[in-house]
Structure 1
């Protein structure tokens, strides 16, 4: 989920914790739990700072080790170790339990996004992405904000957020059902599909679709359970040519390939360089595919410049590659 949603979820857990008699009977425990769950709801996303280095490192590592099983166990210990000395009369066990719940819930809800997490590390490096909830879901964010407003107006925070989370469980179930309906519609349209990727959007009945069969890629959308195919591409295996093999040595392209499960590729030759482009087919937006990896090589196959990330126009891409002045 996005940072804002994780923040309001942390506050909501602080309110929900007041239902715990051990927390409610001690102001030190209440305050320390509130601080810890807010920190715990954000802690796994500390790897966002990797974006300050470059996109390749960020793509390879975001929601990786910081969302793994060891991290889920270690984050609460680290947070409690910092917070507890300021509240030595707090109940240590319940402080840890609520902090653990905050960290666990952060990783758990991220699994439902299309981006997913490597939550099964170290047992598996596979990305777990259920594709049910958009990274920012207006309903989930909005109902948390409503709960916080009600808390501010004097309602009991424990019971308020207990009701809200009961509603959210139902909401998640409905989203699963909706996604399964879209999946069946896609399979009816493309019965020989070997892989179907369905990504949610901020709109409840709108989904993005990327499908593969043995010979083609299909890119489309589903609106109100009606599937529309927008683009089709022939599947062409990436050949082991000198240009492509040299391009694969680039860290940006390597990061892209480690993350993207469905893409097409292009190689263009110019007077003084080659351009290799890999295009992720999952994120079509207004006739454009914004998530790409591009590598430029000179005629001796030396990498001269490269980029991976989100780009919404060719002009901006050229600026990132320093082909034209920014």
Structure 2
């Protein structure tokens, strides 16, 4: 998910905890734990500062997003609470663990994926059933805020717990539809992926077979509509590309499958899940040397 959504998740976690007898320091510690835990896996973005090997795409959403690091991140957040506010409790530790777990797990559902089981598996797990920026999440959380404020609810934490229930229902419904599409259409292709669109129930299906990639708009309520067909030059030798552009090799490892471009001007690869308006923003290439004029 995007940074704003993760922040809103943290704020909603904080709001879902009853705090009638909590003092200022306890509330501050809980706030930092909930919001910090919702953000801390993305600390890996700083790896871009020293990335000289073109590996950032594998490092981001990699080890820091591993489910095995959840207890360590929660322990770090608990240490921060003790250091700054002298507050410690298993409840705070549990909030930190829950916030980090929600961050890591929610990232599984969009097309970017995450290294959920690193370091034991380098595979990027992605379901593609929730967009990276999901306005439905925003609407549900905003609705909870407005309801609790306008109705002057005496126990607003109950409202925010229902907000979490509704968001879980949204994920479940979207993922069930994605599973149905995968089960129905994936068998037609050698490789297949989903990418959710901003409108709920709407998906893009990306399938590759014998060097042909089809991108279709799909919904469980209607027949797929073919949007575009791409040709991948899978017989091209990519060794020179990888040697000259390390980011291309990283993209090849990171993507579930790629489209290979091999023409007179360039040799490159791109991820078709992010293909829009005639190009993919995840595209790595090298220019070919033109033959000298005689």
Fold conserved (TM > 0.5)?
Answer: yes
Tell me the distance in 1 between the aligned counterparts of 2:110 and 2:222.
Answer: 19
Partner in structure 2 of residue 310 of structure 1: none
Deviates most, 65-74 or 121-130: 65-74
Give the conservation status (yes or no) of the 8 Å contact 1:5–1:141.
yes
Give the conservation status (yes or no) of the 8 Å contact 2:12–2:160.
yes
Partner in structure 1 of residue 67 of structure 2: 69
Measured after TM superposition, the shift of residue 14 of structure 1 is: 0.6
Give the conservation status (yes or no) of the 8 Å contact 2:211–2:231.
yes
Tell me the distance in 2 between the aligned counterparts of 1:94 and 1:204.
Answer: 35
Superposed CA deviations along residues 289-323 of structure 1, whole A, max 9, x for unmatched, are: 332101236579xxxxxxxxxxxxxxxxxxxxxxx
Partner in structure 1 of residue 254 of structure 2: 259
Tell me the distance in 1 between the aligned counterparts of 2:97 and 2:57.
Answer: 26
Change in Cα spacing, 1:215 to 1:86, as seen in structure 2 (3 Å) is closer
Partner in structure 2 of residue 121 of structure 1: 118
Deviates most, 226-235 or 76-85: 226-235
Tell me the distance in 1 between the aligned counterparts of 2:242 and 2:210.
Answer: 24
- Which of 278, 288, 291 aligns to 1:287? It is 278
The runs of 5 or more residues in structure 1 that have no matched partner are 301-326
Partner in structure 1 of residue 84 of structure 2: 86
Is 2:26 the partner of 1:35? no
Deviates most, 54-63 or 193-202: 54-63
Change in Cα spacing, 1:285 to 1:233, as seen in structure 2 (3 Å) is closer
Match runs of 1:36-51 below 5 Å: 36-51=33-48
TM-score normalized with structure 2 length:
0.86
Measured after TM superposition, the shift of residue 258 of structure 1 is: 1.7
- Which of 213, 221, 227 aligns to 2:209? It is 213
Change in Cα spacing, 1:288 to 1:147, as seen in structure 2 (3 Å) is same
Tell me the distance in 1 between the aligned counterparts of 2:11 and 2:135.
Answer: 17
Measured after TM superposition, the shift of residue 103 of structure 1 is: 0.9
- What is the DSSP-based 3-state SS (H/G/I as helix, E as strand, rest coil) of the residue aligned with 2:123? coil
Superposed CA deviations along residues 262-283 of structure 1, whole A, max 9, x for unmatched, are: 222223446xxxx212122112
Tell me the distance in 2 between the aligned counterparts of 1:32 and 1:251.
Answer: 43
Give the conservation status (yes or no) of the 8 Å contact 1:24–1:30.
no
The runs of 5 or more residues in structure 2 that have no matched partner are none
TM-score normalized with structure 1 length:
0.78
Partner in structure 2 of residue 245 of structure 1: 239
Give the conservation status (yes or no) of the 8 Å contact 1:210–1:217.
yes
- What is the DSSP-based 3-state SS (H/G/I as helix, E as strand, rest coil) of the residue aligned with 2:279? coil
Tell me the distance in 1 between the aligned counterparts of 2:100 and 2:235.
Answer: 40
Partner in structure 2 of residue 307 of structure 1: none
Measured after TM superposition, the shift of residue 106 of structure 1 is: 0.7
